[in-house]
Amino acid sequence: MSDIIQLLPDHVANQIAAGEVVQRPASVVKELLENSIDAGATSIKLLIKDAGKTLIQVIDNGKGMSATDARMSFERHATSKIREAQDLFNLHTKGFRGEALASIAAIAHVELKTKQENDELGTTIKIEGSTVALQEPIATAKGTSIAVKNLFYNIPARRNFLKSDTVEMRHINDEFQRVAMAHSNVSFLLHHNNNEIYNLRENNLRKRIVALFGDKMNEKLVPIKEQTDIISINGFVVKPKFSKKKRGEQFFFVNQRFIKSAYLNHAVTSAFEGLLENGYYPSYFLYLTVPTDSIDINIHPTKTEIKFDNEKALYAILRATIKHSLGQYNVAPILDFDRDANLDTPYHYTKKEAVSTPSITVDPDFNPFKTEVSSRITTSKNEQTHYKKETANWEALYADIDILPEEKQQVFFENDDEVATKKTFQIQKKYLISTIKSGIVLINQSLAHQRILYEDFLANITVKEASSQQLLFPVNINFSKQDAEIIYHLKADLESAGFMFNEFTKNNIVVSGIPTSIIESQTTFILEQLVDDLKLEIPDASYSHFDVMAKSFAKSLAIKTGISLNQKEQENLVNNLFLCKEPTLSPFGKPIFKTFTLTEIDTIFNT
C-alpha cells in the first residue's frame, strides 16, 4: 500500500490557518489595529469599504519596518514579539503568534507600505493569495499603511457565508471600540464608505467612553479604583437605574487586552445583587492590571480568553471593590429602614444637659386570667395613666362565626353557574386554559400576544397604510454613534411603520410621531429593543427589515408573565390568536399552545 500522508503546500496551510484567524472582516481589523498599537503608533486611521469586503486599510504613525522585516512579516510563525516558549508567559504586546499577516495574505490582495523614521525610502509589497507580486522601494511617510482588498476572493464559499453589510460593519465597530477603549492615549479615526463614523482624540478614559457611547453616558458612570499586591482595578460601572436587558456594554480589559470571562462577570453581577430588576444586567468598563506571569493568554486563537493563576482572589477583590464604590457614591441604598427612631440622639442634646432616666410603672393588680383585663400605659415624664378595655374571654372571639349569609358567600366562592359560563381560566398569571370539545388547550399568554401583534404590525407596515399620531412633545433619544447609525439606515422603514423624525445626529434622535398602536412612554424602549435585535444578527440578506421590525415591536409590547387578565381580556386573546394565519408558533418559532385530549387527561388518573 502506498504512503498517503504528505506535507501540505504553504498556500493551503495558510488558508487553513486563515480559517482560525480570519473568520470575518472584523478579524482582519482586530489584527491590523493591534499590530499598529504594538508598533507604538499614537495616531491610527481605519478606512473601510463595503463593510470590509472590498477594502480594509489601516494607516499608523508607528515605528515602521525595514525592507527585510516587511517581507518576513508575511511568513508563517514570523514574529518580533517572542524568542522562546517562556516569553509566552511574559507578554506585553497584542500579537505574538506570527500567523496573522500570513493568513490574511493567503485569502486577499494585500498592499503594504512602511518606512522607519531614519530611512530615506520605505518599502512597498504587494501580495495576492500568498504570492509576492511586487516589492520595491517607495517614498512614503513614517509608519505603516496596509490595505487588505477583496477578502476571501479565492475562497468563494467563505465569502458567501458573510452576513449583510450592516451586520459585518457592526462586528467591525465592536472590534474598533474594544481597541479604542483599551488605548485612550491613542487617537483613532474610522471611515466607512468615505463617511466618518468616529474621530477620537487622545483623551482620558472617561472621555473616551463618552465619545464612543454618547454624551449621556457621562452621568451614568460610577468610578472604580483599587490597588492591591496582585491586581490593580480601574474603570467604571454604570448606575443600576440605567441597566438594560442586554449584556452589550460589558467590557473587561486585562493588561490593555479585551477579554471575556464568565467568572469575573459573575463577580460584577453579584456586587449588584439587590440593585437590579429581574432580567436586567449591569454595564461596566473595567480595566485590570496583573503581573504578566500570573496569566496565560495562549489558550484561544482569538486571544479573548485568559487563564488566571488566582481566580478566586481576583473574584473577591473585584466584587468587594465594586460594592464599595456603589456605596461610596451613594448608588447603593444606605438608609436603615428597620432602625428604632427612639434610639436616635436628639439634635439639641449636649453633654451639659442631664439625661432623665425613664420610669417604669407596674400594675400590681394585673391578672391575665380575669374575664375583663386592663392594660396600663404610663408615660415616662408625668406618669399619667390611661386604661384600655379589651374584649371578653377568648371564647367570645369565635361566638359570632356561623354560616355566612348568601350575599357574603359570593365574596369567597364563585357561583357554580358563573364558573360554568367561563370559557377561559388564567393560571399563575402566565398561562390560559380554554376548553374545547375534545379536551382543553393550554396557551402561553405572552407568546400568543406576540403572534397577534406580529401579524398586526406586519399587515400595517406592508399591506395597510400605517397611521401615525403626532407627539405634543417630541421624544429625544440618545444613542451611541453605532446604534444611531443603525436607526438611520432604517429611517425609511420606520417611517413606513408610522414613526416620524425631526432630527438625526450622530448621537441623538428626535421622534415627533409614533404608530397609533404604541404609546409615547414605550417609544425609547421599542427603538432600543429594535437596535438590540438587529445587533443579534436577526436581519440577514434573506430577511426583510419589515419582518425584523414587526418581530421586535411584538416582543417589546406583548403582555409579559405576571400580568393578570380579566375574563374579557382572556377571551379576546384566545379568539384573536386563532384568527391568526399561523396560531401555532410565535414569531420566533416557539410553540404557543398545547392541546390535551380527554383521553390524555384520563390516562393521567388511570381512568
pLDDT of residue 129: 81
pLDDT of residue 600: 87
pLDDT of residue 193: 92
* Lowest-confidence pick of 198-212, 406-420, 491-505: 406-420
Q: How confident is the model at residue 471 (pLDDT cuts 50, 70, 90)?
A: confident
CB 272 within 8 A of CB 280: no
pLDDT-above-70 percentage for the chain: 75
- Residue 291: CA atoms inside 13 Å, Cβ hemisphere, count? 7
Summarize the chain as % helix, strand, coil (round to 5): 35, 25, 40
CB 248 within 8 A of CB 285: no
> Is the overall model pTM greater than 0.75, yes or no?
no
Other C-beta atoms within 10 Å of 180: how many?
Answer: 22
How far are the Cα atoms of 263, 267, 286, 297, 567 from residue 260, in angstroms, in the given order? 9, 13, 12, 12, 48
Say which residue, 25 or 496, is predicted with more confidence: 25
pLDDT of residue 443: 92
Q: Does the structure show a pLDDT above 90 at 124? A: yes
pLDDT of residue 191: 94
DSSP assigned state of 130: T
Pairwise CA distance, residues 246 & 584, whole Å: 28
pLDDT of residue 418: 45
* Lowest-confidence pick of 11-15, 38-42, 293-297, 588-592: 11-15
- What φ, ψ does residue 488 adopt, rounded to 5°? -60, -40
**Residues found in the chain:** 607
pLDDT of residue 363: 74
Pairwise CA distance, residues 125 & 148, whole Å: 12
CB 432 within 8 A of CB 556: no
pLDDT of residue 464: 63
Say which residue, 364 or 186, is predicted with more confidence: 186
Pairwise CA distance, residues 274 & 284, whole Å: 17
Q: Does the structure show a pLDDT above 70 at 82? A: no
Question: Which residues touch 92 (CB under 8 Å, ≥6 apart)?
Answer: 255, 292
Pairwise CA distance, residues 114 & 59, whole Å: 10
pLDDT of residue 404: 46
CB 353 within 8 A of CB 347: no
* Lowest-confidence pick of 282-286, 314-318, 370-374, 444-448: 370-374
Q: How confident is the model at residue 139 (pLDDT cuts 50, 70, 90)?
A: very high
Q: pLDDT averaged over the chain?
A: 79
Say which residue, 305 or 443, is predicted with more confidence: 443
How far are the Cα atoms of 424, 570, 584 from residue 434, in angstroms, in the given order? 4, 9, 15
Question: Which residues touch 130 (CB under 8 Å, ≥6 apart)?
Answer: 10, 11, 14, 102, 105, 106
Q: How far apart are the first and last CA of the chain?
A: 69
Pairwise CA distance, residues 116 & 319, whole Å: 46
Q: Which domains does the chain have, with CATH numbers?
A: 10-200 (3.30.565.10), 205-328 (3.30.230.10), 355-398 (no CATH), 442-577 (3.30.1370.100)
Say which residue, 77 or 200, is predicted with more confidence: 200
Q: Does the structure show a pLDDT above 70 at 450? A: yes
Q: Does the structure show a pLDDT above 60 at 398? A: no
Sign of CA dihedral 504, 505, 510, 514: positive
Q: Where are the alpha helices (DSSP H) in 237-366?
A: 262-271, 311-328
Please give the average per-residue pLDDT across 226-240, as a whole number.
92
Q: Does the structure show a pLDDT above 80 at 26? A: yes
Please give the average per-residue pLDDT across 578-601, as a whole number.
89
Phi-psi bin for 473: left (phi > 0), alpha (psi -120 to 50), beta?
beta
* Lowest-confidence pick of 27-36, 75-84, 245-254, 435-444: 75-84
Please give the average per-residue pLDDT across 37-58, as a whole number.
94
pLDDT digits (tens, 9 = 90+) for 507-533: 788 888 888 778 888 888 888 888 877
Say which residue, 363 or 448, is predicted with more confidence: 448
Highest-confidence segment of 12-16, 105-109, 214-218: 105-109
* Per-residue cell: 246: 442586554
Q: How confident is the model at residue 435 (pLDDT cuts 50, 70, 90)?
A: confident
What is residue 133's three-state secondary structure?
A: strand
Please give the average per-residue pLDDT across 407-419, as a whole number.
44
Q: How confident is the model at residue 94 (pLDDT cuts 50, 70, 90)?
A: low
CB 500 within 8 A of CB 466: no
Q: Does the structure show a pLDDT above 60 at 314? A: yes
Say which residue, 333 or 225, is predicted with more confidence: 225
- What φ, ψ does residue 19 adopt, rounded to 5°? -65, -30
Please give the average per-residue pLDDT across 212-234, as a whole number.
90
CB 150 within 8 A of CB 109: yes
Pairwise CA distance, residues 458 & 475, whole Å: 24
pLDDT of residue 252: 92
Which residues on neighbouring strands pair with residue 192, listed in sequence order? 48, 195
pLDDT-above-90 percentage for the chain: 28
Pairwise CA distance, residues 543 & 532, whole Å: 16
Which residues on neighbouring strands pair with residue 478, listed in sequence order? 508
Say which residue, 21 or 152, is predicted with more confidence: 152
pLDDT of residue 274: 83
